Amino acid sequence: MKEPEGGVCAPRGFRAGGIRCGIKAGGDKRDLALICSDTPCVSAAVFTANRVQAANILVSREHGKAGKIRAVIANSGNANACTGQTGIAAARRMASMAAECLGISAGETAVASTGVIGVPLPIERIEAAVDRLAASLDRGAAGHDAALEAIMTTDTRKKAAAAELALPGSAAGPVRIGAMVKGSGMIHPNMATMIGVITTDAAIGAAELDRALRRAVNRSFNRLTVDGDTSTNDMVLAMANGAAGNPLIAPGGAAYEAFAGALEALCVKLARAMARDGEGAARLITVTVRGAASEEDAAVLARSVAGSSLVKAACFGADANWGRVLCALGYAGVPFEPERTSVRFAGASGNVEVCRDGCSVPFSEEDAKQILLEEEVEIRAVVGGGPGEASAWGCDLSYDYVKINGDYRS
């Protein structure tokens, strides 16, 4: 599998752009993005599990029911959440304006917003800028980069990737998948405070795309946690335009498995990047659980450890406090065998066993500290003899997280 340049513009037939329209106060950062396909698409999307949902989520859910989304307009600096019917009208207007510029129907357009909750969206600024936004569309990396910058909030790193793969049984040449995500804080399993846009030129049915997307999200973004808060605005949208000319991907076949596997690998890569860019984070933490009764149980256990504030704080302080790991496993809500559980801390410099059969073992505090000071740390837990294995991703909890969120609105 190759990694082409261009992110969401790497697949054939997609354009992207981004501009500043003045939603974000001060500065000169872009805050309005548009991503679209030249031709009709099939689409699939996954949305937040929060019962409080932003206006853009309600509108995008409605438009996405037909599985034919081919464009998304997105803004940063304002979540358009908890804004009532006025907010819903603004989200509908965003979709209509973008559709008018592209010559498509509003029902083929999704809307994404991110930023402060409870503040009316200044739709007039978007309306005044939408023609300029459409003019910014570009087929190359420049368009992708502009769109990605326009959806970032507290992100400190751009998070995007693309993949090129040959499908078994296809003589049409390789297909490409491109993706961009934003998200740094208010991130917890069952999506995150994220906007994710995935494009592909593969020919695939809407049902198969939906199935592949849900599998990928469950094994990537839904195993990601930064701070335990599930946002009102989470959305991952996938659009497929079939421009690669491959035979339609059949459900369950070798081509489907190749496509779904590549999509999952791409999402895992981006989930890890989001964890590494967690607000105020100094290190990426991977929690891997083996020996559970099932993959689902292992995922729940791993997420519990990755989401523990005490584990995260210990990692920030490079303190090998393994008891916090067992504690987090214990309240995860799924059965495991504490008396058979072992824990290791691992990094590029090696690994140290700190717990065996649920009890302490002699280990070098200095060696453990050196591992926990690395930029990427893995916590490995074996919880029994079952076949279940899964990883979850998070980050440490630093003083800077409080500084960033203590005055986020003001």
Candidates 239, 130, 126, 104; CA nearest to 180 is: 239
Kindly report the CATH number that applies to the domain delimited by 284-406.
3.10.20.340
At 192 the pLDDT is 44
Write out the two tokens for 293: 């009764």
Residues shown for the chain = 410
Q: Which fold has domain 7-276?
A: L-amino peptidase D-ALA esterase/amidase (3.60.70)
Task: Report yes or no: 328 and 228 within 8 Å, Cβ to Cβ.
Answer: no
Candidates 312, 91, 70, 348; CA nearest to 200 is: 70
Write out the two tokens for 230: 């599930």
DSSP class of 2: B
Candidates 278, 273, 298; CA nearest to 288 is: 298
At 224 the pLDDT is 84
At 44 the pLDDT is 98
Pairing between β-strand 350-356 and β-strand 195-200 as defined by DSSP bridges? unpaired
DSSP class of 223: G
Cα 288 to Cα 290: distance, rounded to the nearest angstrom: 7
Candidates 303, 336, 313; CA nearest to 190 is: 303
Are both 7-276 and 284-406 of the same fold? no
In the residue annotation, 193 being an active-site residue is answered as yes
Candidates 185, 184, 166; CA nearest to 176 is: 166
What is the mean pLDDT for each group of 10 consecutive residues in the chain (410 residues)?
94 98 88 98 93 94 97 96 96 98 98 92 97 97 97 86 94 94 62 80 97 95 74 90 96 96 96 78 90 97 93 92 96 95 96 96 96 95 97 84 64
One of 109, 153, 154, 193 is an active-site residue; which one? Answer: 193
**pTM as predicted:** 0.88
Give the Å distances, CA to CA, from 389 to 53, 225, 245, 274, 293: 32, 18, 37, 22, 9
Cα 245 to Cα 204: distance, rounded to the nearest angstrom: 10
Domain spans, the chain: 7-276, 284-406
C-alpha 72 chain-centroid distance: 16
